[in-house]
Structure 1
Amino acid sequence: MKLYLAALLLCLLPLVPQRGHAQTVDTLVDVGGYRLHFHIIKGKGTPILFEAGGGDDARVWEQLLTPLAQVTGTTLITYDRAGFGKSEVSREADDTQHGILSGMQGLETGLKKLGYGKEIMLVAHSYGGLYSSLYAARHPKQVKAVVLLDAMLPCFATDDFLAGMMRDMQADIAKNKTEHRGRYYQTLNYPATVQAVRNAPFPASIPVMDVVAEQFFIPNPTEAARWKACHQQFVSAQPNRESLTAYGCGHYLFHENPALAVSVIAKAYAPTRGPQQRADLLQRSLRYSVEATNELKKRETDYRHSESDLNSWGYTLLRQGETQKALEIFKLNTVLHPQSGNAFDSLAEAYLTSGNKELAKANYKKSIELNPKNMNAVEVLKTL
């Protein structure tokens, strides 16, 4: 079963000075043949636009928005790309038309209709880095700063990488053609998306804060080194680009260390304000960062060796191919938490991975005994 990180910020909000109830807008905007969904927290100053990663929609940013609104006081804009979340897909678009260029035009139309077609700051995660790069290239005077959070850059997406990715994704492309049009177009057009960004180099005039996760999103040391080298190459190309490693974090670093993400975004945003406003913003950011980091450390201490912690550790070992070690961790979890159906479900999955179907069946049955609603175990047992 998947392990979901706790929403740490919920208990931290009182630590930041209250700025009243900001007006929130949740709307669908016709951008020419289809509608894009925008979620906006209104404020004052240069707006910040968030670009989600591939497969994600605007909801991925939810836990950052309240502290960022309170720290910066500015307008925050998240949206769903065509075919994701609440956004529609153009019925007239074919496979070649529904790429990053049409997506960019839809975004630009939507922002203009909402009154945000001028100065803006960009924050991007993963695949969203390609969208932010292209938007910056198309609007070099309007984009005041960019924050990249473990974002995809075209120097990583080499022709060999793209060819291998497209080979591996053929089954998903065929499946999503009927099940998820947004992902279908996104994957199908990935090489064309990268080429469009290559053809529009990132403007040298725009300052960038590039945050890279310490832990690469797949257990491949060669690709991890190439990812970091690509980001180093990008940052070193211009003096107004800074790099930062998010230690102890994986790809969704803004979920694992929200205090870091808020502080980095606030720092990048500060130059858009006047001297006094800038000083106040940085003071609020510092207070939030100190208190949030302290609370995070406390929660890490409470979390250590909990059922969820051991479960997460076991799955990490399983993904790394260390099946025997994973089995020992999962076994320990069932000993420490004998009434947890989830612990026995995880142990059963590890046994199944190791090829031991009999012990897998026994532990799936134990999981169902403890939790009759565990339909995952029921379905797996049918196949065994």
Structure 2
Amino acid sequence: MIDVVIAGGGPVGLYLAALLLQEGVEVRVLEQRVRRKNHSRAIGIHPPALAVLDQVGVGGAMVRAGVPIRSGTAISRGATVGSMSFATVSDRFPFVLSLPQSTTESLLEQRVHELDGSALRRGARVTHVADDGGAVTVAVAAPEVEGGGSRITARLLVAADGARSQLRSLLGIHVLSKSYPDHYVMGDFAADGDHSQEAVLYLETGGIVESFPLPGDLRRWVVRMGSPAPNVDAAELSQLVHQRTGVRPDPATNSMLSAFSPKSTMARRLVAGRAVLIGDAAHEISPIGGQGMNLGWLDAAELAPIICASLAGTAVGRRLQEYDAGRRKAALLARRQAEVNMSLGRPLAPAFLGFRNLAMGAVAAVPSANRLVARRFTMQ
């Protein structure tokens, strides 16, 4: 019997594994993907997450590999509406770090391998869970291996297998879902030289356009659409950006293209017997504002000491109840912030857009209000 099985080898599962391995816990991470996706995906890492990532020795490497975004500017109809500095949000990390998720996962996986070269098992999918009150046994399918399949028994099980969590279903945990009238297309292109390390929000009548720097002299462009647009290509996205902002990213330099329609999913409970949900398996948050992955790391940072205490023989029932309530509350706060972010990006008639821009500019001009908004945006 091993100590902990973690289902899901994404950024949250890998981080939890590193935390536990550092404490001498025997861990197996089961990841159904045979190889990591080379896709930028989630890019924003907030100061509280950087602080907990530093606990496993990867914070510095991430900062060196990424782009620190130290300020943001809102622009509308060619004029600056307001600016926001992140200088006061953290003493150690006064910025939002922009780093492709593929690099984030690579650094975390390297750390896990340093701690235990056999901890991560790829091509492994949990197909059944049995909890007898004293241990959890999972059936594992390994289709990449001829005749592959096994059973693993552990003292505890953690579900970190994402928003479509199969393990959550196997545990019989129901979710509350919420959809939104928002749709987006995003792509990564070569940077044009303007706003080099700054986030820029273009607040236009047709809807928001967001732009963020990425390592490698790239920029992420996110355009709000009026309806789902899964077939938009790089040239069409470039044209949409140009129509609303006057900036025309070069389609030939596009390295990632994706369309998405945000929703939120909240598990009704995070603890089921000897199993616990974390990350997107526990709470899916709209990616607008970049909170979801960060929220998962904060889940793991809070859960790891509880796991260690349980393995040492300490009764942790009350702490698990507090974890359940506290992390669901944190997820609700993150959802509300994401909903505010999405509402600010919806199309408005020119008169209403002008009024909103005046209000935003007035808030941005008050230093105390500016600092408060910056702290809320960075999950403080």
Task: Judge same fold: TM > 0.5, yes or no.
Answer: no
Which has more helix, going by share of residues? 1
Whose relative contact order is higher, 1 or 2, with alpha carbons under 8 Å and at least 6 apart? 2
Question: TM-score w.r.t. structure 2 length?
Answer: 0.31
Larger radius of gyration: 1
Which has more strand, going by share of residues? 2
